[in-house]
Structure 1
């Protein structure tokens, strides 16, 4: 009987080794490609379409800014007779009038208005690009979490299959008087806990799939295949180089810089409000011969301008522009601080994750595998108790799951670093 038990345990070990790193056969869709998913999200997500439409709105406003007001056309009658309104040859002062007037802003106002509106469009474009960066980071995050759930499901599948073999072996040993009923019950409890964890992982996978489909603007139940192994490429830049890259590539930095320049333009435009705008007008008066006169035609020309005497309103407009500029300057300073601190933090996390991956791959996981194999053999030969063998199995699967957790953490930190800097870092 002991020989049969040994064969059962060895069969379980073989199953474990064969299933290690593999997924059960099924009809899963093909593994999704991360760059393709990011491109699909950027091209289809409604929030990106909305931000692009907003950018186009500001572009259209920039084209309108600084334009002249429409000229005014005036048609009229001067000095008409009340008792005969349409008699133009009864009085020499009666005339038919046509006139044009045009408002002209003070020199420099139109150029400053165009500049402020154009800079607002630049800022809107930066916000649009920033939205795309954030969306790409979200897709990468969900992708990494899907990878972790898929690997955890693989681990549970293998664990359950090995546990079934262990349970059969424990039941057989108990049946022949070589084991304890407590060992059988504990193994069954562990199997139930694994089944409970499997239910939770199934729910997590469905939720993550729905979340990713939402980002891709797909129906929520669109199937997404299992995620292939994640690579963990090193970051080819140091902190100083990453800060320089952020200055060049991060859209929000460019957008806040444009907001500062816009504040300067609006402040200059507000200062111009202390100067008057002009209105030029020209009128032509056509007269008919009347009362012995020849009815010579006449004209009038005039220039008028407003008197900017109410200074409080204009001073408040200057203060508003200065406050907007100061706000953008403070936000830019805060963003640079956040980028600087974020780069240092994420590089430290990536370094830790990379070192842990080397440790798990080269040390912990091979050692845990060997410890489990040794415990199986020792248990079959009555050299260790059931609890020790079961603990070594649990430790092995926990170590393997921690390996995949560290891989997912690495990619999550890398996605955050790329969003922080504003560009892909592994192309």
Structure 2
């Protein structure tokens, strides 16, 4: 039943009403992957609390020195009924280290969750940019189709007038086939985008893009999410070293036993009490504690190297996405210059046509070229928006 309900909800989500971007962010906060990380962080916090607690005491009940061949509690002096309690006291330093490690792991998971949310938010913005691009490119493609209809009428009129323009008809049909393929591909892209939006926020919104401004990076490595995660991992290994060092410290224990004796014919039935204190001695430290400490130090060294690698990778990603933004801006400028040039040419052709020189087909060709260029601008605009969103997602906002 749950499976059927889940599939039944998908078509409904595809026709959802417009929502504000803040509402989409609230939906994104409830994404299962983020909820799972929240539970993981909570689990580590609870483990931190449990790590400082003492182990459960051990209660013992027994009979001591009970005779087999003449069973009784009053015929043999050492015979007694005993109740005892034993409590172990693991090293406080070790317990604190394990608690600190669990808290550090919780902080690391929170850092992972923040990075995951930032990445999902960037993906949401990129998908919204794609939705805008697809709508505008479809409109431009349909406008091209209409222009080809006009062009066919003009070329057929030229053929009827005896001008050699038959070859142009074949070219037009080829170009119209390209537009048809473009429309089919746009439908495919829209279906993929809608599916990804449903996966992210549970519906297909008709929401516009939020304001996008590229965030500047100061040069500090800890401004990156991935570096914060790696730094939190270093903190985890610090507590691992503390725990390994604490293993040299003794683990104490205390035991108390009350022994109840019955009075016999030849002896009084005085009760006995026994007490004992235990502690561990790191006798095999060279084979146990020392290797564990070396392992903990090696893990910390590895975490430090991963920190350095994360810092380099994040800086490279920032530079790469910044380059994409710059390239998209430059491409848009070039395309706009081309559009302006074609518009000037179309205007000149129109003046010549109105003065009785030349035909109208070059004017339509120019208008079709402008539509193609505008479609390319839409692609670059969406690419720039996605790059800005993904660049911003690299940086910690708070």
Contact 2:225 2:395 in 1 (8 A): no
Q: Report the counterpart of residue 5 of structure 2 in structure 1.
A: none
Displacement of 1:384:
6.0
Note the 1:15-30 alignment, pairs <5 A.
Answer: none
SS in 2 for 1:102: strand
Q: Which runs of 5+ in 2 are unaligned?
A: 1-14
In the alignment, is residue 110 of structure 1 matched against residue 95 of structure 2? Answer: yes
Q: Report the counterpart of residue 37 of structure 1 in structure 2.
A: 24
Identify which of 296, 299, 320 aligns with 2:270.
Answer: 296
In the alignment, is residue 97 of structure 1 matched against residue 71 of structure 2? Answer: no
Q: Report the counterpart of residue 69 of structure 2 in structure 1.
A: 83
CA-to-aligned-CA distance 1:7-55 (integer Å, 9 cap, x gap): xxxxxxxxxxxxxxxxxxxxx8755544433432232x22222222222
SS in 1 for 2:264: coil
Q: Report the counterpart of residue 279 of structure 2 in structure 1.
A: 305
Q: Report the counterpart of residue 247 of structure 2 in structure 1.
A: 273
Q: In structure 1, what is the Cα distance between the partners aligned to 2:267 and 2:281?
A: 41
In the alignment, is residue 60 of structure 1 matched against residue 53 of structure 2? Answer: no
Q: Report the counterpart of residue 346 of structure 1 in structure 2.
A: 321
CA-to-aligned-CA distance 1:370-410 (integer Å, 9 cap, x gap): 43344456467452684x54652343122212221221122
Contact 2:77 2:264 in 1 (8 A): yes
In the alignment, is residue 413 of structure 1 matched against residue 382 of structure 2? Answer: no
TM-score by structure 1 length?
0.80
Contact 1:368 1:399 in 2 (8 A): no
Identify which of 314, 327, 336 aligns with 2:302.
Answer: 327
Question: Alpha carbon RMSD of aligned pairs, Å?
Answer: 2.8
Q: Report the counterpart of residue 162 of structure 2 in structure 1.
A: 177
SS in 2 for 1:291: coil
Q: In structure 1, what is the Cα distance between the partners aligned to 2:163 and 2:20?
A: 52
Note the 1:387-426 alignment, pairs <5 A.
Answer: 388-389=362-363, 391-423=365-397
Q: Report the counterpart of residue 336 of structure 1 in structure 2.
A: 311
Number of residue equivalences? 382
Displacement of 1:148:
1.8
CA-to-aligned-CA distance 1:231-267 (integer Å, 9 cap, x gap): 77443x5442xx45x735x444333222212212111
Displacement of 1:119:
0.8
Displacement of 1:207:
1.5
Contact 2:212 2:388 in 1 (8 A): no
SS in 1 for 2:287: helix
Q: In structure 2, what is the Cα distance between the partners aligned to 1:89 and 1:421?
A: 80
Q: Report the counterpart of residue 318 of structure 1 in structure 2.
A: 293
Q: In structure 2, what is the Cα distance between the partners aligned to 1:298 and 1:398?
A: 101
Q: Report the counterpart of residue 8 of structure 1 in structure 2.
A: none
Displacement of 1:302:
0.9
Q: In structure 2, what is the Cα distance between the partners aligned to 1:31 and 1:150?
A: 15
Identify which of 152, 165, 182 aligns with 2:150.
Answer: 165
Between 69-78 and 123-132, the greater mean CA deviation after superposition: 123-132
Note the 1:130-141 alignment, pairs <5 A.
Answer: 130-141=115-126
Displacement of 1:72:
0.6
Displacement of 1:74:
1.0
Q: In structure 2, what is the Cα distance between the partners aligned to 1:231 and 1:267?
A: 46
Displacement of 1:322:
1.6
Contact 1:55 1:128 in 2 (8 A): no
Q: In structure 2, what is the Cα distance between the partners aligned to 1:375 and 1:202?
A: 35
Q: In structure 2, what is the Cα distance between the partners aligned to 1:332 and 1:174?
A: 72
CA-to-aligned-CA distance 1:46-70 (integer Å, 9 cap, x gap): 2222222222222222222132110
Displacement of 1:184:
2.7
Displacement of 1:109:
1.5
Contact 2:45 2:103 in 1 (8 A): yes
Q: Report the counterpart of residue 129 of structure 1 in structure 2.
A: 114
Q: Which runs of 5+ in 1 are unaligned?
A: 1-27
SS in 2 for 1:73: strand
The 1:198/1:377 distance shift into structure 2, 3 A limit, reads: farther
The 1:155/1:30 distance shift into structure 2, 3 A limit, reads: farther
The 1:277/1:233 distance shift into structure 2, 3 A limit, reads: closer
Displacement of 1:185:
2.8
Displacement of 1:355:
5.0
The 1:375/1:159 distance shift into structure 2, 3 A limit, reads: farther
In the alignment, is residue 284 of structure 1 matched against residue 258 of structure 2? Answer: yes
